[in-house]
């Protein structure tokens, strides 16, 4: 049995549970439950505040955890990052009132900065030789300048709309963050279970980054099309019932997706179908 800590509710909860589901791991959890056991994988899930997860993993109360890098580096506990998970993306940034002018970090000299991330903020200020006062608050940091509590904030941002609504402007990114899978030191049985879980997580994430593509092409265009579609090994080419035509199947990465589709059309591809992939094992 291996125990994993996930956020009880909040921004990481849904996607953490979805990841387990995508890995075929069923967990039935009622509201306000502290823990739940999977029906079909030797996994127990603990539901905690995200701030507590690094400590629980360091103490081996949970062997694994899913937490934002922002929280992980703020808490600085003795745990290992096993895998980035690609969700919960945000950045920790300095923001100041819109009507003020910021040309560089010297702006912060002698100022008061409100944040829920005192350790990361201190580290940033130290690296930049800035002396400033840190005012630690646990929530709604963006309100601090408006009520005269601070000159600036150091807070999490994704779209920036919360800052904007509070008359603030993001002026400096301190770190980029995403959710990561963390681990304590494991015994042999737990390591085997982590490896099984990781194998599934990688297959799921790889599948999400790729699409299955099917298209028809006249045989004279096949050479050019094959060059555009490397596939997992090489593309599958099947003859169509119509003489002189073939069907080509392959896998495309999302990063090059639209570019490749354009090129395929220009090379003579027709009837292009793009289908999501559920799992991808290479």
Binding residues vs ligand ATP (CB under 6 A): 7, 10-12, 49-51, 68, 70-71, 88, 90, 156, 158, 177
Nearer to Zn ion, 25 or 71 (CB): 71
Which partner from the list ligand ATP, Zn ion, none does 33 bind, CB cut-off 5 to 8 Å by kind?
A: none
Q: How far is the CB of 58 from Zn ion (least distance, A)?
A: 17
Is residue 50 part of the contact set for Zn ion (CB under 5 A)? yes
Which partner from the list Zn ion, ligand ATP, none does 265 bind, CB cut-off 5 to 8 Å by kind?
A: none
Q: CB–CB of 91/177 below 8 Å?
A: yes
Distance, in Å, from the CA atom of 169 to the CA atom of 260, rounded to the nearest integer, reads 38
Question: In the sheet where 210-218 sits, what is the strand order?
Answer: 236-239, 245-253, 210-218, 270-276
**Radius of gyration of the chain from Cα atoms?**
24
Which partner from the list ligand ATP, Zn ion, none does 177 bind, CB cut-off 5 to 8 Å by kind?
A: ligand ATP
Is residue 55 part of the contact set for Zn ion (CB under 5 A)? no
Which whole-number Å values give the CA distances from 139 to 101, 158, 249, in the listed order? 26, 16, 51
Q: What ranges in 128-277 are assigned the alpha helix state H?
A: 161-165, 188-208, 222-228, 257-266
- Spell out where the chain has E strands: 2-7, 35-37, 43-48, 64-68, 80-84, 90-97, 112-115, 133-136, 152-157, 168-177, 179-183, 210-218, 236-239, 245-253, 270-276
Q: How far is the CB of 160 from ligand ATP (least distance, A)?
A: 9
Nearer to Zn ion, 50 or 155 (CB): 50
The region of 34-42, 44-52, 87-95, 137-145 touching Zn ion under the rule CB under 5 A is: 44-52
Is residue 69 part of the contact set for Zn ion (CB under 5 A)? no
Is residue 137 part of the contact set for Zn ion (CB under 5 A)? no
* Residue least distant from ligand ATP (Cβ): 68
Nearer to ligand ATP, 158 or 234 (CB): 158
Which partner from the list ligand ATP, Zn ion, none does 70 bind, CB cut-off 5 to 8 Å by kind?
A: ligand ATP
Is residue 51 part of the contact set for Zn ion (CB under 5 A)? yes
Which residues sit opposite 83 in a β-bridge? 181
Residue matched to tokens 């800590």? 5
Q: How far is the CB of 167 from ligand ATP (least distance, A)?
A: 18
- Using alpha carbons, select from 264, 222, 224, 227 the residue that is nearest to residue 239: 222
Binding site for Zn ion (CB under 5 A): 50-51
């Amino acid at each position: 049995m291996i125990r994993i800590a996930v956020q009880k509710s909040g921004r990481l909860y849904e996607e953490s549970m979805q990841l387990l589901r995508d890995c075929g791991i069923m967990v039935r959890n009622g509201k306000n439950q502290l823990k739940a056991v999977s029906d079909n994988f030797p996994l127990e899930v603990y539901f905690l505040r995200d701030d507590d997860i690094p400590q629980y993993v360091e103490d081996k109360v949970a062997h694994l955890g899913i937490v934002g890098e922002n929280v992980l580096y703020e808490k600085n506990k003795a745990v290992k990052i096993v895998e980035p998970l690609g969700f919960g993306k945000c950045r920790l940034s300095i923001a100041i009132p819109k009507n003020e002018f910021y040309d560089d970090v010297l702006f912060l000299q002698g100022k008061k900065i409100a944040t829920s991330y005192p350790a990361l903020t201190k580290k940033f200020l130290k690296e930049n030789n800035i002396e400033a006062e840190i005012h630690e608050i646990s929530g709604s940091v963006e309100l601090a300048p408006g009520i005269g509590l601070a000159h600036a904030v150091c807070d999490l941002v994704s779209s920036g709309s919360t800052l904007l609504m509070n008359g603030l402007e993001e002026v400096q990114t301190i770190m980029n963050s995403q959710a990561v899978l963390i681990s304590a030191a494991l015994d042999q049985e737990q390591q085997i279970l982590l490896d099984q879980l990781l194998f599934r997580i990688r297959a799921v994430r790889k599948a999400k980054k790729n699409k299955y593509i099917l298209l028809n092409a006249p045989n004279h265009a096949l050479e050019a099309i094959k060059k555009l579609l490397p596939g997992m090994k090489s593309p599958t080419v099947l003859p169509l019932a119509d003489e002189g035509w073939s069907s080509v199947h392959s896998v495309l990465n999302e990063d090059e997706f639209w570019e490749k589709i354009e090129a395929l059309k220009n090379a003579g591809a027709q009837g292009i179908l793009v289908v999501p992939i559920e799992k991808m094992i290479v």
